[in-house]
Amino acid sequence: MTMLAAPSILAFDIFGTVVDWHGSIVGEMQTLHPQVDADAFALAWRAGYQPAMQRVRSGELGWTRIDILHRMILDELLPKFGLDHLGELERAELNRVWHRLDPWPDTVAGLTRLRTRFTICSLSNGNIGLLTNMAKRAGLPWDCILSAEVFRAYKPDPATYLGVADTFDVPPEGVMLVAAHQDDLAAARNCGLATAYIERPLEFGAANVKDVSPDAANTWHARDLVNLAELLGC
């Protein structure tokens, strides 16, 4: 009989799980460009994300940071929303909105509690600089910022999930991925990690409420990060 190690490391997906990308982008757009459909703009920007990473995964692009991918998507998007006139400085500043995403209301309290019993780190496809700027602004109390950039591979590549275990010199079951996305959790589970699903019904905005049904394959299912702290006895 094999004794499984209880997780000592919690690795968190970021976009949608820890921070509200949709609400944050909508908020900035409504202030800066009130004539634009901010909901459609935010959704279109995010929709370009997986195809852009796929160009890296397929080898069409060499290793590329998310900051650069976000900017490529943005440049394609602006004409479609009547914003082709934005200059370089305005584009660069708008692209940095991904560094300024707001946490969900429960995030800082939940992470602070979880941190008392676990080592908590990010595991995001966002680059290290983006994640650091976000954490400093939002007060996210990470013990360590891990990113696809450290492993030179994007989730759901096994190199990312197993990379966390390797970084901390623990077996895969010593790490739990915390995410609001079942596909991310399934890939982690296939690598031997424990998994915790976080409900984020408003990830895509109030007009596009997300199905947050439990998947029994996950180790835990929590309403939010404070609830996860409660479930884990923190």
User: Site residues (CB under 8 A) for a second copy?
Assistant: 67, 119, 121, 127-129, 131-133, 135-136, 143-146, 149-150, 167-169
| Nearest distance from C-beta of residue 133 to a second copy, angstroms | 8
| Nearest distance from C-beta of residue 65 to a second copy, angstroms | 9
| Nearest distance from C-beta of residue 203 to a second copy, angstroms | 26
Separation in Å, CA 31 to CA 35, 148, 152, 208, 210: 10, 32, 36, 22, 26
Displacement of CA 150 from its chain's centroid (Å): 15
Displacement of CA 177 from its chain's centroid (Å): 11
Nearer to a second copy by Cβ, of 81 and 168: the residue is 168
Nearer to a second copy by Cβ, of 93 and 143: the residue is 143
| Nearest distance from C-beta of residue 67 to a second copy, angstroms | 7
Nearer to a second copy by Cβ, of 38 and 121: the residue is 121
| Residue 219 near residue 106 (C-beta atoms within 8 A) | no
User: Can you tell me whether residue 145 is helix, strand or coil?
Assistant: strand
The length of the chain, given as a count of residues: 234
Q: Kindly state the helix (H) or strand (E) to which residue 11 belongs, with its residue range.
A: strand 9-12
Nearer to a second copy by Cβ, of 143 and 183: the residue is 143
User: Looking at residue 180, what DSSP letter applies?
Assistant: S
Nearer to a second copy by Cβ, of 92 and 209: the residue is 92
CA-to-CA distance for 67 and 161, rounded, in angstroms? Answer: 21
| Nearest distance from C-beta of residue 149 to a second copy, angstroms | 8
Nearer to a second copy by Cβ, of 38 and 74: the residue is 74
User: Can you tell me whether residue 173 is helix, strand or coil?
Assistant: helix
CA-to-CA distance for 193 and 142, rounded, in angstroms? Answer: 20
| Residue 226 near residue 106 (C-beta atoms within 8 A) | yes
| Nearest distance from C-beta of residue 167 to a second copy, angstroms | 5
